[in-house]
Amino acid sequence: MAGVYLQQPSYLLATLKADCINKPFAQRCHDLETVIEEFPAKELHGIFPWLVESIFGSLDGTIVGWNLRCLQGRTNPTEYSVALDFLDPSGPMMKLVYKLQAEEYRYDFPVSYLPGPVKASIQEQVLPECSLYHNKVQFPSSGGLGLNLALNPFEYYMFYFAISLITQKNSPITQHISPSNSAYFILVDTYLKCFLPTEGSVLPPPSSNPGGAIPSPTPRTPAVPFTSYGMHHTSLLKRHIAHQPSVNADPASQEIWRSETLLQIFVEMWLHHYSLEMYQKMQSPHVKESFKPTEEHVLVVRLLVKHLHAFSNSLKPEPLSPSAHSHTASPLEEFKRVVIPRFVQQKLYIFLQHCFGHWPLDASFRAVLEMWLSYLQPWRYAPEKPPQTAEVLPRSVPEKWAAFIQENLLMYTKLFVGFLNRTLRTDLVSPKNALMVFRVAKVFAQPNLAEMILKGEQLFLEPELVIPHRQHRLFMSPTLGGSFLSSWPPTITDASFKVKSHVYSLEGQDFQYKQMFGTEVRNLLSEAQLNQMMMKCGTAQDENGKKQLPDCIESENGLILTPLGRYQMINGLRRFDVRYQGDTELQPIRSYENATLVRLLYRLSSALNERFAERMDMLCSREDFVGRFCRYHLTNPHLAHRIRYSPAVKDGTNQNWGPRISLRFLASYRTLVSLLMLYFIASWFYIGPVGCTFIILFSYFLYAVIMTFFFEAWKPHEH
């Protein structure tokens, strides 16, 4: 195999492409490992883009690649194990990445496949605030097709890995797949644990040269000037090593760029699909939804959120002396301190807002709900364990989390209101939907949590004090201005200012805040509505013994459901008694009727009614027994006096059809089978068809006479 590969890189690439067709998966990976070990970076450089695409699929989704999202150990144990070993952080593929990284190769990634807000910003020559894109935008040369990002091998690999969750979401799936057991999900977890470790430091990259170091990305001069959003961050790495003479002087500084790059790529590819401006536009019902996340997408984001909480909570306790902290804190420890507020908070908030407002009203929302609840409970991923007690009691939220709750106030309050609005439109009769309400209630009922949220609201509503050194300072988003590594003076770091800064940075200065514990939220359901719901919302009977109608109001177009009425109908608490209001002879043919007989009997009935209309009307107008007998058979009093139980238009008046003959009941299979059974039983007693017919007619005549005397109003042939 190796002897064949000692050719030009183009031949090497052609041979590898042929192997994809002719060799089994495990053998191909083994051969690739051999090539990566034996060939120099110069020749591997030519196959790297093809190899990445063959693994993760093409950006347009036409090439599926290894289909890691559907690869599971239960169904494909060999391929599953081989793929995970090959793509492991210490596996052959990552060795190739670091091998190319040492030579500072660059690879083009089309801007057109970036998330919507990023793509629009770069195309307008406005530099996104994320440092991931700085010094990477390359404009096309003459005849070029479009903008590209010039990425180093590690960035290129991780871009493709992260975006494959989006581009490959429509790949064919032939069986039921559990996303949390897929090779892709396992790799996400593996990369997070490797590059964002909760214990120890990031493992050094494998190097083909013993003792050698893989250099971090060098700054590049932008090809054209860009307008920035404002005060944007430089990289944590660049800030930390700005005063150092050499990158290699501090190995810890060298490794932090991989952690920061990995997280930025994951957040950008998975969460940055809605900007603040786009989110505000999406509130309009006329704006078409631009990006629809899948349930698998949300599950991966939840994995990211849970790991970031564990990563952030593994921060070492701060020393008592601030000066000691500035000299001893490593870049990784500083990264843990700012990872959630700087990288995740804003984009996750907008992502959740969109999901709460646009996700279908079904049980699949459970994935979004659990991701939200995971973010709200960082204490679940703290290293300390709750004390063991004999009595099982709800664990109280420690006071040390008050700062997190206050700095994420909208995550608790506004999204809770959004969940309430969803709940009012959800079928709570479904156990899965009811369970979601229970989950949220259980989380927010944790001891001490409501008090902390209320304290955060009070801090936000405090009047702003005019402080000389603050009156010219604007509220700035953590991601749009200021540095998290340089702490503010104690005089301006009060809790009230932090809460206000959080709210205004996410919703703008004109945001009208709804208090979670205020009257406006409580009035989402009025007192009258709450009382009715507590009384089962419709189980009471009206004076006629029928179920009450859903809550509605009269209008010129008929009945209109109120919000309470919609809630009652969705949950099956009340309903309209919808009935056919037209000519009973013209009702749709039922499944228990013979279609041919229905049509023939309708023509016969119509002919008889047209022929004898005046005679039947005269007979039914008599007041003697004959008139009562004819009215019993030829009229339908319920048709003219039926009570309307449906929200139909008011001008739809009933017609009085008058006396008429209806033979449609003879088209019912039940009637036909009953007659056949009677004729069959009669044959046992040696009674012929004519005699049986006479007996049936005579019996019915006696029955009709009796019914005429006692129950004239009851109609026997109403079908």
| Low-confidence winner among 34-48, 155-169, 270-284, 536-550 (lowest mean pLDDT) | 536-550
- What count of other Cβ atoms lies within 10 Å of the Cβ of residue 457? 20
Q: Give the residue-averaged pLDDT of 647-674.
A: 72
Cβ contact 505:476 at 8 Å: yes
Q: CA dihedral in degrees (666, 670, 673, 675; nearest 10)?
A: -50
Would the pTM count as exceeding 0.75? no
Q: Is the confidence at residue 672, as pLDDT, over 60?
A: yes
Q: Is the confidence at residue 545, as pLDDT, over 60?
A: no
* Tokens 């017919």, residue located: 693
Pick the more confident residue, 640 or 35: 35
Q: Is the confidence at residue 10, as pLDDT, over 60?
A: yes
| Low-confidence winner among 79-93, 516-530, 552-566 (lowest mean pLDDT) | 516-530
How confident is the model at residue 622, as a pLDDT?
86
Take residue 537 and report the two structure tokens written for it. Answer: 């919302």
Q: Is the confidence at residue 272, as pLDDT, over 50?
A: yes
How confident is the model at residue 484, as a pLDDT?
39
Return mean pLDDT, the chain.
Answer: 78
- Residue 492 gets which letter from DSSP? G
Q: Give the residue-averaged pLDDT of 140-166.
A: 87
Q: Is the confidence at residue 347, as pLDDT, over 90?
A: yes
Cβ contact 260:236 at 8 Å: yes
How confident is the model at residue 572, as a pLDDT?
73
Q: Over 635-699, what HEC string results?
A: CCHHHHHCCCCCCCCCCCCCCCCCCCCCCHHHHEHHHHHHHHHHHHHHHHCCCCHHHHHHHHHHH
Q: Is the confidence at residue 116, as pLDDT, over 50?
A: yes
Cα 203 to its chain centre, rounded Å, is: 35
Residue 321 — very low, low, confident or very high, per pLDDT cuts 50/70/90?
A: low
How confident is the model at residue 664, as a pLDDT?
87
How confident is the model at residue 383, as a pLDDT?
82
CA-CA distance, 222 to 227, in Å (whole number)?
Answer: 12
Share of the chain above pLDDT 90, in %: 37
Cβ contact 308:340 at 8 Å: yes
487-521: per-residue pLDDT in tens?
Answer: 433 333 478 888 998 899 888 888 888 888 887 77
CA-CA distance, 191 to 162, in Å (whole number)?
Answer: 11
Cα 635 to its chain centre, rounded Å, is: 57
How confident is the model at residue 33, as a pLDDT?
94
Q: Is the confidence at residue 6, as pLDDT, over 80?
A: no
Cβ contact 479:346 at 8 Å: yes
Q: Give the residue-averaged pLDDT of 528-543.
A: 44
Q: Is the confidence at residue 69, as pLDDT, over 80?
A: yes
The per-residue b/e assignment along 374-407, b for 16 or more CB within 10 angstroms, e otherwise, is bbbbbbebbeeeeeeeeeeeeeebeeebbebbbb
Cβ contact 75:15 at 8 Å: no
193-210: per-residue pLDDT in tens?
Answer: 999 999 888 888 766 444
CA-CA distance, 80 to 362, in Å (whole number)?
Answer: 32
Residue 387 — very low, low, confident or very high, per pLDDT cuts 50/70/90?
A: low
